[in-house]
Amino acid sequence: MLQEAIAVKNPAMAFGPFMDVDVAASQTDVQLLLCGTGPDGIVMPKAGWIVGLFWTLSAAGSAGALGIGATIDGTEKTATTQAITTAAEGHAEFKTKDVAPRFAAGEQIGVEITTDGSWNGTTSDLAVYLAVVFEDWEM
């Protein structure tokens, strides 16, 4: 019988949801909480990259702007920031050899948002997931 050992070197995993209920206008760099009530980030067990950001609003706004970005140890990584106006859902992908932010083992990843004063999706609930790829993780 032929047997093979298959090693997955760089598995992708999604973390979240990071949530905000009734996304208010005029917010600046507000960290979202895990599951809406938990901590504002997740400590990473290995080094890797944030390779995706996926978001859903319960209802789209029709005016103003909402910015969503990934954070590492509480600092937003501007290459991940997404400007949302009237969409109710979306995603962004970041290449590891290009703009994907790299984190070290032990650093915390999270999500923060900024809204302008004219954002009118104030009864919308927001859920955001982060996709990561770990470096040299054999399974």
Task: Say which CATH topology domain 12-134 has.
Answer: Jelly Rolls (2.60.120)
Task: Name the pLDDT band for 137 (thresholds 50, 70, 90).
Answer: confident
Percent pLDDT > 70 in the chain is 91
Task: Name the pLDDT band for 6 (thresholds 50, 70, 90).
Answer: very low
Between residues 2 and 107, the one the model is more confident about: 107
CA angle 15/69/48 to nearest 5° reads 50
- pLDDT mean across residues, the chain: 91
Q: Where are the domains of the chain?
A: 12-134
Distance (Å, whole) CA 3 – CA 100: 36
What's the pLDDT tens digit per position in 47-89? 999 999 999 999 999 999 999 999 999 999 999 999 998 999 9
3-state secondary structure of 121: coil
Q: Beta strands 66-72 and 82-84: pairing type?
A: antiparallel
Q: 101 pLDDT exceeds 50?
A: yes
